[in-house]
Chain A
Amino acid sequence: MALLEIKNLHAEIDGKKILNGLDLTIERGKVHAIMGPNGSGKSTLAYVLAGKPDYTVTEGEILFDGESILDLAPDERAAKGMFLAFQYPLEIPGVATMNFLRTALNSQRKKRGEGELSTPEFLKRVRETAAKLNINPDMLKRAVNVGFSGGEKKRNEVLQMALLEPRIAVLDETDSGLDIDALKIVADGVNRLRSPDRGFVVITHYQRLLDYIVPDVVHVLSKGRIVKTGGKELAHELEANGYAEFQAEAAE
């Protein structure tokens, strides 16, 4: 059974149809890249997977380990192992980063029937992970993402992913806004997590990221549907030719 199966997914927001019968299957251990023009529905797909309440799924199914997650709240999906690295991570003034990380991790563990992590064990994990991602520990003393630069916010998303150890991670343009060194650090962070039972959906506009996180499969999303699937060479084609061909196809 596939790790994640998206079948004929239709979703809308404020009465506007965004996803129009999207099919996508993610196998364990695989990295899938999704590319596509602005406004084609990539973030929408990411949000719908994570369970953002603004979207209404009007048709279709999302199966995680063969079970539908459409009726699950975002926190329940997270506890099952769904993770979304936001395209635009939010600042949460007044909520301390450490408290946020601990609450998130322990809430998930609790829901899965695992014991809460002790404070020293938790701190050790955060420190080690932060160090690998080149995140200054002082930043963790601040409120969540408050005063972080764009690139720091993206690295903080990857820190959360590494701590929460999801089984399926959706990275929505985690590369945008990163300098070349940060890009490598983030890619390393993702590659370290690659494992035979974990799947990734990497949304990006740039082939460059895929030099560092080498995908197994590349998809093109246009007008709310997957319009082409190929190997990593597809990313190079897109880089060279753009999306004109697919936009015309999807429009007919």
Chain B
Amino acid sequence: MNAEIRHIKTSAETGLAQEFAAARAKLPGQGAVAALRDTAFARFDAKGLPHRRVEEWKYTDLRALMRDARPLAPAPDQAGKARAAKAGQLMSDVDVCRIVFADGVLVPELSDLVGLEPGLSIRSMAQALGSADPLVARHLGQVFPSDDAALALNTALMGDGALIEISDGATMSRPIHLVFATVSETPVAIFPRSLVVIGKGARATLIESHEGPDAVGHQCNAALELIVADGAEVEHIKLTTGASETLHISTLMASLGADVRFNSFAFTTGLAVVRNQVFLRFDGAGTKAGIRGASLLRGKQHADTTLVIDHAQGGCESRELFKSVLDDEARGVFQGKIIVRQHAQKTDGKMMANALLLSDDAEADSKPELEIFADDVVCGHGSTVGALNEDLRFYLMARGVPKHEAESLLIQAFVGEAVEFVADEIVRDALMEAAVRWLAERG
């Protein structure tokens, strides 16, 4: 490689280095955890914030979007906790096991931590980091090794989060809902980190919701590592909502065993800048995974979905489907890469991104990629960008449906094509209702 010219550090990068230096001794975990942090920070420091010449971040230039580093959030006060208690309303119709984090810190008094159903264990990640927990030692940072700079930053500064273990064969009767509420009234940075280990043949639904208050420019960089053992069935829902000026980065790293059924759905209507990255690897045969999502954006919102789907083992099926509805000057980005390793024969992968532009000033960028090294595979990808179909709108209007309502029906249908894959009917209905509310707020 040619020598990399070191760039002059931006104010945000300098700020992050200062935050790390100041917090380093106080962050949870010593020994191996502290070493993990140091290595991660060194990696971040060498690369700096990802910018548009970094291919994976081409459309989401963090160096430009993140002008300054926010201070690490202090422990939430009572008022903050009270605000967190009201978060996660989107799932209010769903009977869940609710675990609440205020500014990234677990709030036990707001969380269903006692009387958990058999086979389920939920702990604070901060405590686990501080107590040389064996799960942390075995898995943390190892589920999907990556040199992504944003992820490195999370690893360096990770605070609290959830450490969840579901034992072999356990079936969870209720979804586990991790509510991440950013509650501080002044801008702060939070770095939640979670690890979820799901045993063989277990069944669970995991919902994470991330939301922030209006008009406060928080920075949230969250990461979740997920290990799904053979034969397990897991549904993962990520909700990003709230009319805030928050910059939100999230990394989901998943390793799927054999004969797993895994579905992930990301629903985004909120926050100013959202980057959802999913790094997923098939580690056993016979597994089917669906990675899907829908974003409804307006104003100057920017949401980026970046996937790396690694078929490391053959005989697996992956389905990726992302829908974005973009109004005003919103921007939707989809980057999806499917890798099929040389020995991963009989891989079946299909990826599709559809964007619906509701305004001339909205923008959609799509970059699907296939890297196929095996010869006996069925893989395909596609993407579409378009406006609402005027003929369909006319058909509806000719039957008496007013314009706004006709458009809403068509947009719901568009979003519904992805939402319909969410297995839980109540969750599915809640998502469609949220989409309908978004449409009702449309000018």
Contacts and interface: CB of A to CB of B under 8 A. Distances in A.
Interface of A: 50-54, 73-75, 77-79, 83-84, 86, 89-90, 92-95, 99-100, 103-105, 107-108, 111, 143, 160, 164
Nearest to A106: B400
B417 interface: yes
B135 interface: no
B417 A111 contact: no
B324 to A, nearest CB: 16
Count chain A CB atoms within 10 A of each CB in B395, B402, B414 and give the residue with the most: B395
24 contacts: A53-B394, A73-B403, A74-B394, A75-B398, A75-B399, A75-B400, A75-B403, A75-B406, A78-B397, A79-B400, A90-B395, A92-B413, A93-B413, A94-B412, A94-B413, A95-B409, A95-B410, A95-B413, A103-B409, A104-B400, A107-B405, A108-B400, A111-B400, A164-B399
B413 A103 contact: no
B401 A107 contact: yes
B400 A105 contact: yes
Contacts of A84: 398
Contacts of A94: 410, 412-414, 416-417
B400 A53 contact: no
Nearest to A79: B400
B315 to A, nearest CB: 31
Given A107-B400, A107-B401, A107-B402, A100 B409 contact: yes
Contacts of A143: 413
Interface in B252-266: none
A55 B392 CA distance: 16
Interface string B191-226: 000000000000000000000000000000000000
A50 B398 contact: yes
Contacts of A74: 394, 397-398
Contacts of A51: 397-398
B186 to A, nearest CB: 43
Given A93-B413, A93-B417, A100 B400 contact: no
B396 interface: yes
Interface of B: 390-392, 394-403, 405-406, 409-410, 412-414, 416-417
Given A75-B400, A75-B402, A92-B395, 16 more contacts: A53-B390, A54-B390, A73-B397, A74-B394, A75-B397, A78-B399, A78-B400, A83-B398, A92-B392, A92-B413, A95-B396, A95-B410, A100-B401, A103-B409, A104-B396, A164-B399
Given A90-B395, A92-B392, A75 B401 contact: yes
Contacts of A164: 399-400
Contact of B395 (A54, A86, A99): A86
Contacts of B416: 94
Contacts of B417: 93-94
A55 to B, nearest CB: 11
B296 to A, nearest CB: 15
Contacts of A92: 392, 395-396, 409-410, 413
Contacts of B405: 103, 107
Contact of B401 (A83, A90, A93, A104): A104
Nearest to A81: B400
A74 B400 CA distance: 7
A230 to B, nearest CB: 30
A92 B391 CA distance: 10
A194 B397 CA distance: 24
Contacts of A50: 394, 398
B398 to A, nearest CB: 5
Contacts of A105: 400
A94 B391 CA distance: 15
A54 B395 CA distance: 13
A95 B396 CA distance: 10
B435 to A, nearest CB: 12
A67 to B, nearest CB: 18
Nearest to B415: A94
Count chain B CB atoms within 10 A of each CB in A50, A75, A164 and give the residue with the most: A75
A201 to B, nearest CB: 15
Nearest to A90: B395
A111 B399 CA distance: 12
Count chain A CB atoms within 10 A of each CB in B398, B402, B417 and give the residue with the most: B398
A11 B417 CA distance: 38
Contacts of B409: 92, 95, 99-100, 103
Contacts of A108: 400
A129 to B, nearest CB: 15
B394 A52 contact: yes
A217 B410 CA distance: 39
A42 to B, nearest CB: 17
A78 B394 contact: no
A54 B390 CA distance: 9
B369 to A, nearest CB: 28
Count chain B CB atoms within 10 A of each CB in A50, A73, A104 and give the residue with the most: A104
Contacts of B400: 75, 78-79, 104-105, 107-108, 111, 164
A51 B394 CA distance: 8
B398 A78 contact: yes
A80 B182 CA distance: 51
Contacts of B410: 92, 94-95
| 7 closest Cβ pairs, A-B complex | A94-B413, A78-B400, A108-B400, A104-B399, A74-B397, A75-B397, A107-B400
B250 to A, nearest CB: 28
B388 to A, nearest CB: 12
A90 to B, nearest CB: 5
Contacts of B397: 51, 73-75, 78
Contacts of B412: 94-95
Contacts of B391: 90
Nearest to A143: B413
A73 B398 CA distance: 9
A108 B399 CA distance: 8
B49 to A, nearest CB: 40
